[in-house]
Structures are given as C-alpha cells and as structure tokens.
Amino acid sequence: MKIIFTVIYLLAALIVITGFYIQVNKYLRSMVMTQALQSFIIALIAFLLGIALRQYTFFILGALVILLRTVLVTYFLASKIPKNKNYLYESKLPTTYYLLVDLAFIVVSIFIVYSISFIHIVSLIFPDSDIILFPLLLFFQGLFIIASRKRTIAQILGYIEEENSLILLGTFILPVPIIIESSVFLDVLVLVVIFSIISIEKTEHKPVEELRG
C-alpha cells in the first residue's frame, strides 16, 4: 500500500505541473488537451485508491471522471475552436511574467488558507495530511487563470481546474458520497452549456470581467 500511496503523491504533483503548463500555454487546443490529461490523472488516482482501499466507489468515480471530464468536456471545448484555426492562441501572452506572478500568488494564498483553515484537517486515507496541499495549489491555479486570461476557453479551463481541485480534495480527505461527486460533474456540464451559449456572442473577456450565466 505504501507504494500505491507514493505513486499517488507523484501523480498529485504531476497534476499541479499540468496546471502550471495550462497557465503559461498560449495555444488553446493544447490547453484543452492538457486539461484532459489532468482529469485522466485524477481518474487514475481514484482507481489506485480503489485498489488500495478495496472500495468500488472509487472505481465508479474514476469512470465518471474519464467519461464526463476527459471525454465529454474535452470534446465540447475542442469543438468551440474553429477547425481552420487549430493553432488559435492568445497573442502577446507574457508567459514568464504570468508564471512568476502565479507562483507568488499561490505561495501567499496557500500560506494564508492552509495555516488558517486546513492545518487541523486530518485525512482518513493518507497518513500525512499535507497531501491536501496539492488540490489547494490546483484551486488557486484555476483562480489565477480566470483572472489573468482573456480567451473564454481559457477562463472556462480555469473553472474546470477549480472543480478538479474540489474533487481531488474531497477524495483525499474522505470518501465523498457518489451523489456529491455527481453534482460536481453536473455543474461542469452546465458550465459547458453556458459556455456554448456565451461563446457565440463573445470569444474574449477582459481579465477582470466576470462570466455571467
């Protein structure tokens, strides 16, 4: 079981790396595909927890993540990128600046939130509760993407990252009932539907402009 938990730690760290890649990536289709990889890694973590804990609910969770997030959400998002513009990107994207600001923002946010709200939370699954830092990192990465990017697709990916972080956090803290996980998936699907409507009218938003549905 220690080997499985070690692999899960490495996969959780890889999820955070995909979040940084999405942040500095200016090509929209590549960002969408990276989101699919991020969701697939979350599903893989669920499968590993199912094997380690011998609980079938984690296998159901992993299957739902692959079906709804890795496949359906990715398909809907990719379909909004014109086929004749597969390399559509955000011009003049200061990737180095965004990466440095993202790191500073995350470090400060994690220090404040974790030290105040999460320091006394004990994971019922992992012996070391510090693993909840990974979903917290992912959450603030998604928040920074929403605030810093202009493209609607990029901002939607920020929302999806936040949803992924909530699933990961709930999975690490305790086995969340499948109905709660299902509601999160439905929220994402509703968000994609809203995106399909508003993207017809506008494909870019200012960094401080709020998406409304």
pLDDT tens-digit readout, 42-68: 999 989 988 988 888 888 888 888 988
CB 47 within 8 A of CB 81: no
DSSP helix/strand/coil, 89: strand
CA dihedral sign of residues 186, 173, 49, 144: positive
Compute the distance between CA of residue 25 and CA of residue 200 in angstroms, rounded to an integer: 24
DSSP 149-183: --BHHHHHHHHHHHHHHHHHHHHHHS---HHHHHH
pLDDT computed for residue 87 by the predictor? 53
Amino acid at 34: T
- Around Cβ 23, how many Cβ atoms within 10 Å? 26
Amino acid at 1: M
CA angle centred on 163, ends 198 and 44, rounded to 5°: 125
58 to each of 10, 112, 142, 185, how far by Cα in Å?
19, 31, 24, 15
Residues 152-211: pLDDT tens digits? Answer: 778 888 888 888 888 888 788 766 666 556 656 666 665 666 566 555 555 555 544 444
